[in-house]
Homo-oligomer: A and B are copies of this chain.
């Protein structure tokens, strides 16, 4: 089985989204600025951006796939990433509402898993084979996998802003012990890699 990684961008105060998340503002107030480094950082961040993708499978939470909504997704909802999402691999979406897989251009298929994180983990592991697979977010999904001890490597991308509230990483992970592997500062973000377990 390949390594299980997790890349997540957080503010200096540890939030993966700002306060007041909604369908109109899915990253909350100020949350868009967390991800500036991926789009404005130029080649300096190529390795880190590349590391977020390129995995054999992905697991993501319900709210990372789509906006908050009662009772499943509307028929046309196909994720935030357009017709050709960058994952190019199976993506297992944790949800409480069963629905048919959504096959996108370029190799991405969204599968909807109602059996919980462990079921999603096994599906992603089997889909990835020897390749790494990634817990793609959001924060509460990452917390569940941290709490279960199922992440091998956590790569925090710390944007240089204090949001002052929002969706906090580690809010539900319980105590965790990590081993720092590397750290790198650039004007738009600080990359810190930890090993777990």
CB within 8 Å of B: which residues of A? 12-14, 30, 146, 156, 158, 160-164, 168-170, 173-194
Q: Write out the residue numbers on chain B whose beta carbons fall within 8 Å of the beta carbon of A170.
A: 12-13, 162, 164
Residue of B whose beta carbon sits closest to that of A174: B164
Residue of B whose beta carbon sits closest to that of A33: B177
**Are B160 and A194 within 8 A (Cβ)?**
yes
Q: Write out the residue numbers on chain B whose beta carbons fall within 8 Å of the beta carbon of A177.
A: 160-162
- Alpha-carbon distance A83/B85, docked complex (angstroms): 63
Least distance between A183 CB and chain B CB atoms (Å) = 4
**Are B175 and A185 within 8 A (Cβ)?**
no
Q: Write out the residue numbers on chain B whose beta carbons fall within 8 Å of the beta carbon of A146.
A: 162
Write 16 A-B pairs (CB below 8 A) sorted by A numbering. A12-B178, A13-B14, A14-B14, A158-B180, A160-B180, A161-B176, A161-B177, A179-B187, A180-B185, A180-B187, A180-B189, A183-B183, A183-B184, A183-B185, A183-B191, A185-B193
- Alpha-carbon distance A144/B6, docked complex (angstroms): 34
Closest 3 CB pairs of A and B: A183-B185, A183-B183, A162-B176
**Are B162 and A173 within 8 A (Cβ)?**
yes
The answer, among B30, B175, B182, B183, for a CB contact under 8 Å with A175, is B30
Contact A175 B163, CB 8 Å, known A13-B14, A13-B170, A183-B183: yes
The answer, among B12, B164, B168, B193, for a CB contact under 8 Å with A194, is B12
- Alpha-carbon distance A189/B164, docked complex (angstroms): 24
Contact A160 B179, CB 8 Å, known A14-B14, A170-B13: yes
